[in-house]
Amino acid sequence: MAKYIYEYDNWPAFTWNDKKIVGTLGKVRHLQGKIFGQMSALGFSLKEETILSTLTLDVLKSSEIEGEFLNKEQVRSSIAKKLGFDNAGIVHVDKHVEGVVEMMLDATQRYDKTLDHKRVFGWHASLFPTGWSGIHRIDTGSYRDGEMQVGSGPMGKEKIHFQAPPANVVEKEMNAFLNWFNTESDIDGVLKAAIAHFWFIIIHPFDDGNGRIARAISDMLLARSEESSQRFYSLSNQILTEKNNYYEILQKVQHSTGDITDWIEWFLNCLYRALENTEGTLKRVLKKSDFWDRHKATNLNSRQRLMLNKLFDGFDGKLKSSKWAKIAKCSADTALRDIKDLIEKGILKQEKSGGRSTNYELTEEWNIYS
């Protein structure tokens, strides 16, 4: 069987082909600058809304890559509260959600601070506040003391995709990684984010949560590369979209003799597509702002305002009167009256799909997907 990258004598002296990556790196840097220019032209509240939408997306999608689905309202509320934004709301936030949010905000808002063992342990402990990962008890806030294999398939017939370095070298490996992380300044920041992500995944220092922490480390270095805590794009969202390719490229390069060009190329292209997709987030924020600007004199009750904001923030599934009643905590009749009123005002319309139940959506003028 092929050796793992960390089993070669030159580990961790990574190499890459500059000629192959320089063009993509230039494209990423150009688009980063362009988006920052567009964002800096936004008003304060719009910028706040974009940052909130992006960070919410990042937290949700990084967990989703691992098959964990967090409550969007709780994530959004927790981020808004911790950043001191007005739209925090009064949603009860689960302890686990608070922990995931704390890790992401610590990485992106305190991007210029040293990353040491204690801080990484803090991130790990915040991901598993109860000391459990599903039905498994895990050591939090300390490196693993057992072997780590990543595999798939039924019990007893698992296919091993990756065997991490033995537990007795993890601290030594993390010392080398953190020393490089805190002192290496000659490499471009975006390139450094790609290398750090891969390096951390290979060490796999914890019982669980390695992927989420690797992505937080990337986000931290991307914030450093921009010298800004303001996040306007989500790398995790794009990785989720390309999840199969993400695992394929990691699996391929883990057997490299030290050349990680293929991984860096993939990472940069994925980041470029994440930056391109930011335009969608910006479009939604601008449409929402335009809507409330145009309807500031429109007579709308608190239930209608609540539900319209949910539609602009990306409503999960179809909007039915029964869902309206449940979320707005009102009777089915009241929900239907609210909806009919919005149809008369030209804000909502009935979906054409028909079927047994009636669905509603924003009219073409306000629908961000139209």
The domain total for the chain is 2
Residues 252 and 313 in one domain: no
| CATH classification of the domain holding 51 | 1.10.3290.10
Please check whether residues 179 and 275 belong to one and the same domain. yes
Per-residue confidence in pLDDT tens, the chain, 370 aa: 689 999 999 999 999 999 999 999 999 999 999 888 888 878 888 888 889 989 999 999 999 999 999 999 899 999 999 999 876 566 788 999 999 999 999 999 999 999 999 999 999 999 998 888 878 888 888 999 988 887 666 666 667 778 899 999 999 999 999 999 999 999 999 999 999 999 999 999 999 999 999 999 999 999 999 999 999 899 999 999 999 999 999 999 999 999 999 999 999 999 999 999 887 777 777 888 889 989 999 999 999 999 998 888 777 788 999 999 999 999 999 999 999 999 999 999 988 765 567 899 899 888 766 5
Residues 216 and 325 in one domain: no
Q: Assess whether 59 and 97 both reside in one domain.
A: yes
Same domain, yes or no, for 183 and 139?
Answer: yes
Q: Please indicate, yes or no, if residue 367 is contained in any of the structural domains.
A: no
- 18 domain residue, yes or no: yes
42 within domain boundaries: yes
* In a domain? residue 28: yes
Note the pLDDT of residue 41.
78
Has residue 368 been placed in a domain? no
Kindly state whether residues 308 and 264 are assigned to the same domain.
no
Do 356 and 222 have their domain in common?
Answer: no
Structural domain harbouring 210: 5-285
Q: Residue 370: inside a domain, yes or no? A: no
pTM, two decimals, is 0.81
Residue 58 belongs to a domain: yes
Tell me how many degrees the CA angle 361-366-370 measures, rounded to the nearest 5: 75
If asked whether residues 308 and 281 sit together in one domain, one would say: no
